[in-house]
A and B are shown apart, each in its own frame.
Chain A
Amino acid sequence: MQINDTLKPTEVALLYQAHHTWLRGWLRSRVGCSEHAADLAQDTFVRLLRARQASPLKEPRAYLSSIARGLMIDQFRRRALERAYQESLAHLPEAEVPSEEHRLVILDTLGRLDRALHQLKPRARQAFLLAQLDGLSIVQIAQRLEVSRVTVERDLAKALGVCYRLRYADE
């Protein structure tokens, strides 16, 4: 097992020189705005610095565009969440509206939860929300979803595993 399998900064620099212009053009043809494309291209290379594999050197453009595509989707998702959050805040009774500062903390946590939920199958998603948001026990969730206790336990562990990776490994 390799101890350090991330790309070396010099390798990333080489990739940058060779493919940055191409990537920006590729992104521009998709997002239709050159500034936005430039930002996303930049983010792609930042992500590459943290990527834990050496494979990009073999098929650099395929690899870069798959990271960039992921970033585009993340961004769409994040915007959808922010919009949904603003809408939901507007529906809240005044007494329940959190303070400005707390609002950002909540949005941040929701953003991570949302990304995690996205990686889960519908049943695991439902079980996890019933446990974490609604505070139901495993027995109650098993009854509600008409599955066994063991299945619920497995779903919850799976969901927490995804949350953990997003929180501590991905960034």
Chain B
Amino acid sequence: MSDGAPAQAQVDQAIDWLVKLRFDSPSPRTEQQFQHWLASHPHNPLAWQRVSHLSDELAGLPKDLSRRTLDTSQRQRISRRDHLKLLGLLAVGGSLGWAAREPLGLPQLLADSSTATGERRQLQGSDGSRIQLNTASAIDLRYSAEQRQLELLRGEVSLDSNPNDIRPFRIDTRVGPLATLDGQLLLRENDQGLLLAVRRGEVTLFPTSAAPRRVQPGETLQVWANGSFQAVTLHGDPWGWTDGVLSVQQMPLAEFVAELARYRPGLLRCAPEVADLKVSGTYQLADTGQILQLLSRSLPVRVEYRTRYWVSIGAA
């Protein structure tokens, strides 16, 4: 070595001496031998100095603080490594069959859940995560040793993951998979593809044919089937239904009616001449008939019931 750094052999010897002298009770004879070793090669003192400095540094760490930090980080690390692995695999393959390829996979089907039109349901996953299904929706939920997995089969779902479970969450949708370590998010299938809103945590979207994108709390994205996506501003609160309400601001009537129609069996039509009227307010989803009634009072519209399952909204 050109710069006079100790060679590996001298470092190894210095380490052996350190173990003997510092972690054992050395006899006077051992100490004598050590002094002899120290003087036996010009690079030995430097090797010794470096090795003992390392050990001094570590011995000077505050014990409780260090223990706690290392333990916590070790626990978090497991999940981060899993996440990295997950991200890596998703980015490479992006296929849906990945759970089956996991060695410890053998995912157990714990819950298949669905709701009828007009129904909303709250579920609790075996990991403690809270899941809500909106009207006419269906999901699959699977847990394995390495990951939690939710597949949105149809409709709309909100997920509030339990942060105490360190397994990463993978969410499969028709526009591609998503992954999060911990987060609160909402997914809604629509004609164009999928609406994604994030409230807490960080969610990574892996669109079928575009680069991954991290989605931060407060963001709402429309993802199209071809993998492109765009941040959107809505005419209402996408989370409203999780509290049982439809909450809108300046929403065009046609959009409002389409929204309402999701919760009602049968046909709900809006005539073109009133389609652009604006609706604002918070409406209880439990009674959509009452919402229609309220509309006819606050807007210049007439609600016409042809049958119970065929309702038209036109100009008053």
Query: B-contacting residues of A (Cβ < 8 Å)?
Result: 3-4, 28-30, 32-33, 72-73, 76-77, 79-81, 83-85, 87-89, 91-92, 96, 98, 106, 109-110, 113-114, 117, 129, 131-135, 137-139, 141, 153, 156-157, 160-161, 163-164, 167-168
Q: How many A-B residue pairs have CB under 8 A?
A: 134
* Contact status A76-B81, CB under 8 Å: yes
What are 5 contact pairs spanning A and B, CB under 8 A? A30-B91, A84-B71, A89-B65, A132-B55, A133-B59
* Contact partner, A160, options B55, B60, B77, B211, Cβ 8 Å: B55
B73 touches A106 (CB 8 A): no
Indicate if the CB atoms of B15 and A157 lie closer than 8 Å.
Answer: yes
Q: Which of B's residues lie within 8 Å of A, judged by CB?
A: 2, 5, 11-12, 15-16, 18-20, 23-25, 50-51, 54-55, 57-73, 76-77, 80-81, 83-84, 87-88, 91, 204, 211-214
The smallest C-beta distance from B130 to any residue of chain A, in angstroms, reads 24
Bound together, the chains give a CA A91 to CA B64 distance in angstroms of 10
Q: Which of A29, A135, A153 is packed against the most chain B CB atoms within 10 Å?
A: A29
Q: Are A135 and B12 within 8 A (Cβ)?
A: no
Cβ contact within 8 Å between A113 and B62: no
Q: Residue A88 contacts which of B24, B59, B65, B80 (CB distance < 8 angstroms)?
A: B65
B91 touches A29 (CB 8 A): yes
Chain A residues closer than 8 Å to B18, beta-carbon distance: 160
Alpha-carbon distance A114/B58, docked complex (angstroms): 11
Q: Which residue of B lies closest to A102 (CB)?
A: B62
A78, chain B: closest CB distance, angstroms: 9
Identify whether the interface residues of A are mostly helix, strand, loop, or mixed: helix
Q: How far is the CB of B50 from chain A (nearest CB, A)?
A: 6
User: Once the chains bind, are B58 and A91 in contact (CB under 8 Å)?
Assistant: no
Does A76 contact B84, Cβ atoms closer than 8 Å?
yes
B69 touches A84 (CB 8 A): yes
The one of B19, B67, B73 in contact with A81, judged by C-beta atoms closer than 8 angstroms, is: B73
Given A132-B58, A137-B23, A160-B18: A88 in contact with B63 (beta carbons within 8 A): no
A106-B19 in contact given A76-B80, A114-B70 (Cβ < 8 Å):
no
